[in-house]
């Protein structure tokens, strides 16, 4: 147990060090922006990984909660006169309630049926967002008021770098700790075998629902952060392709690995930025890299590489 | 009545395309257990290759045939280069591979072709046919008839040929199929090729009505997947019924309720069906052995 605690501490320390040191090598504010995007995607992916990697339930509609968080901080101040910070909390609460309500019937489904049900939920939310243009600005999106905290106006890409970095640290800390709690162990038990988990007294319906709600809140907060950072939101952020991107980050990085989600986000967010130099070959290369890395690192980047590393160390 | 008939026929036409995509899903899923998210790209390939070959001066039937052959080759390559090397990987890993393949194929199409929308001429003219007050495009009959021929052909193949029975045996139990001497790798390749051909046919038939571009695949894959799940994953009959049902839901939902929410209507019904019947309409109850 002690070893695990140290491992956790080490992971957090390394992550904090990376966040602190990176700005020293950034040549321009563009890099701060890309890095902030990585932290935000990583935050959403870590939440989804609790659902997928720890509890073993797939969600192909997770961008819905990301979108709810994003549009909450857009609509709240603009249409309802709610302060931005309160809108952020309201978005998270709304995501949690929605996840709780639909989670019960949806999480009874298994495998591909769960995938299509969550996908349907995601499509529904995205459709409402892009259709109700009076509230959301429709397909063109809407501007988001800057976040003001105690008179401090949070703006600028370097400021948001630190804010999102801090959020990611907290999110990582919670996810790492969760793994060692009775709840985390229950998640893993139902991941390995639902029947076995049920036999030893795990209330599987309750724990699945818990994982779903936690993942929804993570995504919602990440969505709010991105909306504040960009100052603008579009329905794409709640769309199917964004859901697929989140799932790809989780699987590419490594199911069940918190660090994996951060690495996966780093790869999938920076790669398209880096590939823009290849102009029209961008999608071709992105697809190719996803295929090749999944073939050769089928458990995801972090678990595969660490297995390789420890094998070397032992021999 | 005329309005009802109009919605019915347009629903069936779109539904027939969904049914073909769902059928492709089912064929691959049965043979290999892979949910192929690149299924929509076969539809895109069928349409796009036909458009560009036809534009180059090749007669339409030959252009269509060429498009089907190209799609089959792509399907076989997908199996050989992306699915086969990852054999034994978890289901979700394989899904991500097919998602990667769909991004890759879209990227290739964007380079080889372009990013514009393209149209094919209707096979037998554009003059609408009047059926009890409903104006029906002749191409609708081509879509419905073509889908019918494909479904019938697949049925005959699966039920009345030795190779088809080998596919069914592989779907029922891969290990047992291998034990009785069926080369399951060949069967899987066959499923990918066949599924690509079915997708391409759907793309060729529907392009005169809906147009095509390099990125039509995503939405079609999504709808096809939904149709397959609605019918019950792994059941060919379920895929066809699910596809037609989805098309009808969209057409009537758009016609009588709200055209902006036609997709919402379809997915809402899918959610309700799944809550009531967690295995889809025709799916078998899976008994989990412990």
- Residue A47's pLDDT band (boundaries 50, 70, 90)? very high
Q: Could you give the CA distance from residue A71 to residue A236 in angstroms, rounded to a whole number? A: 12
Q: Calculate the average pLDDT of chain A.
A: 88
Domain assignment present for B284 = no
Whether chain A has a CB inside 8 Å of the CB on B116: the answer is: no
Q: Do B261 and A298 touch (CB under 8 A)?
A: no
Q: Judge whether B285 lies within some domain.
A: no
User: Taking CB atoms and an 8 Å cut-off, how many pairs form between chains A and B?
Assistant: 127
* Residue of B93, B114, B223, B234 to mutate when probing chain A, most A C-beta within 10 A: B93
- Structural domains counted in chain B: 1
Of A112, A240, A291, the CB nearest to B233: A112
* CB < 8 Å & 24+ apart, contacts of B93-97: B93/A251, B93/A294, B93/A298, B93/A299, B94/B33, B94/B34, B94/B35, B95/B34, B95/B35, B95/B37, B96/A247, B96/A248, B96/A251, B96/A252, B96/A290, B96/A294, B97/A290, B97/A291, B97/A294, B97/A295
Task: Give pTM, 2 decimals.
Answer: 0.88
Inter-chain touch A286–B103, beta carbons under 8 Å:
yes
Give the pLDDT confidence score for residue B290 in this predicted structure: 57
Segment B181-187 shows an average pLDDT of 91
ipTM for this model:
0.86
Any domain includes A8 = yes
Predicted confidence (pLDDT) at residue A3 exceeds the cutoff of 60: no
Model confidence over A53-86: pLDDT tens digits? 888 898 989 999 999 999 999 999 888 888 888 9
**Nearest residue on chain B to A107, judged by CA atoms?**
B275
Taking contacts as CB-CB distances below 8 angstroms, the residues of chain A near B267 are 120, 123-124
| Binary contact (B103, A52; C-beta < 8 A) | no
In a domain, B286, yes or no: no
- Average pLDDT value for residue range B130-154: 91
Q: In this structure, is residue B111 part of a structural domain?
A: yes
Is A77 part of any domain? yes
Residue A98 within a domain: yes
What does the pLDDT read at residue A2? 44
Answer whether residue A220 is part of any domain. Answer: yes
Q: Look at residue B117 and tell me if it is in a domain.
A: yes
Q: What is the pLDDT of residues A86-100, one digit of tens each?
A: 999 999 999 999 999
Say yes or no for a CB contact (<8 Å) between A120 and B270.
Answer: yes
Q: What is the extent of the structural domain holding B197?
A: 2-276
Give the residue numbers spanning the domain of A207.
Answer: 2-241
> Which chain B positions have a beta carbon within 8 Å of A124's beta carbon?
264, 267-268, 271
**Is residue B100 in some structural domain?**
yes
Q: How many domains does chain A have?
A: 1
Mean pLDDT of chain B: 89
**pLDDT at site A5:** 53
CATH number at residue B233: 1.10.3470
Decide which of B146 and B1 is more confident. Answer: B146
Pseudo-torsion of CA B20, B22, B23, B29, nearest 10°? 150
> Is residue A75 in some structural domain?
yes
Query: Does residue A264 sit within a domain?
Result: no
Q: pLDDT band at residue B95, thresholds of 50, 70 and 90? A: confident
The residue in chain B having the minimum alpha-carbon distance to the alpha carbon of residue A118 is B271
Residue A162, in any domain of the structure: yes
């Amino acid at each position: 147990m002690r070893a695990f605690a140290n491992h956790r501490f080490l992971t957090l320390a390394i992550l904090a060090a990376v966040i602190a040191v990176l700005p020293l090598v950034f040549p321009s504010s563009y890099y701060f922006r890309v890095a902030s995007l990585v932290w935000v995607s990583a935050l959403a992916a870590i939440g989804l990984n609790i659902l997928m990697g720890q509890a073993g339930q797939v969600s192909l509609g997770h961008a819905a909660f990301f979108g709810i968080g994003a549009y909450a901080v857009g609509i709240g101040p603009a249409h309802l006169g709610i302060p931005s910070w309160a809108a952020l909390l309201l978005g998270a609460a709304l995501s949690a309630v929605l996840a709780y309500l639909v989670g019960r019937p949806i999480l009874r489904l298994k495998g591909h049926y769960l995938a299509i049900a969550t996908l349907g939920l995601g499509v529904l939310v995205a459709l409402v967002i892009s259709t109700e243009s009076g509230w959301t600005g429709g397909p063109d999106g809407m501007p988001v008021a800057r976040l003001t905290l105690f008179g401090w106006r949070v703006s600028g890409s370097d400021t948001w770098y630190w804010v999102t970095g801090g959020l990611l640290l907290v999110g990582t800390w919670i996810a790492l700790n969760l793994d060692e709690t009775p709840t985390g162990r229950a998640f893993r038990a139902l991941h390995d075998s639902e029947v076995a988990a049920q036999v030893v007294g795990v209330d599987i319906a309750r724990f699945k629902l818990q994982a779903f709600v936690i993942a929804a809140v993570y995504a919602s907060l990440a969505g709010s952060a991105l909306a504040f950072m960009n100052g603008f939101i579009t329905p794409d952020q709640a769309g199917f392709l964004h859901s697929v991107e989140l799932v790809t980050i989780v699987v590419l990085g490594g199911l069940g690995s918190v660090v994996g989600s951060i690495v996966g986000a780093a790869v999938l967010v920076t790669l398209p930025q880096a590939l823009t130099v290849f102009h029209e070959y961008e999608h071709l290369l992105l697809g190719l890299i996803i295929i090749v890395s999944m073939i050769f690192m089928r458990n995801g980047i972090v678990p595969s590489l660490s297995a390789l590393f420890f094998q070397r160390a032992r021999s | 009545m005329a309005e009802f008939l109009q919605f019915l026929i347009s629903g069936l036409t779109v539904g027939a395309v969904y049914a073909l995509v769902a059928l492709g899903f089912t064929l691959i899923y049965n043979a290999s257990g892979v949910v192929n998210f690149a299924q929509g790209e076969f539809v895109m390939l069928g349409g796009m290759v036909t458009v560009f070959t036809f534009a180059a001066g090749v007669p339409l039937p030959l252009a269509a045939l060429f498009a089907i052959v190209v799609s089959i080759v792509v399907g076989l390559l997908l199996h050989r280069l992306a699915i086969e090397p990852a054999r034994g990987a978890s289901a979700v890993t394989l899904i991500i591979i097919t998602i990667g393949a769909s991004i890759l194929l879209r990227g290739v199409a964007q380079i080889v072709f372009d990013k514009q929308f393209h149209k094919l001429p209707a096979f037998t003219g554009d003059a609408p046919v009047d059926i009890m007050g409903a104006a029906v495009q002749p191409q609708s009959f081509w879509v419905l008839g073509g889908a019918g021929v494909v479904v019938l052909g697949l049925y005959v193949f699966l039920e009345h040929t030795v190779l088809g029975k080998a596919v069914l045996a592989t779907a029922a139990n891969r290990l047992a199929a291998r034990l009785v001497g069926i080369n399951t790798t060949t069967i899987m390749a066959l499923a990918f090729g066949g599924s690509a051909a079915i997708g391409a046919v759907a793309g060729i038939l529907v392009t005169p009505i809906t147009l095509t571009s390099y990125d039509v695949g995503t939405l079609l894959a999504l709808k096809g997947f939904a149709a397959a799940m609605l019918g019950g994953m792994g059941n060919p009959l379920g895929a066809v019924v699910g596809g037609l049902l989805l098309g009808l839901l969209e057409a009537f939902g758009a016609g009588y309720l709200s055209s902006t929410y036609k997709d919402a209507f379809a997915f809402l019904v899918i959610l309700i069906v799944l809550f009531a019947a967690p295995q889809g309409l025709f799916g078998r109850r899976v008994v989990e052995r412990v």
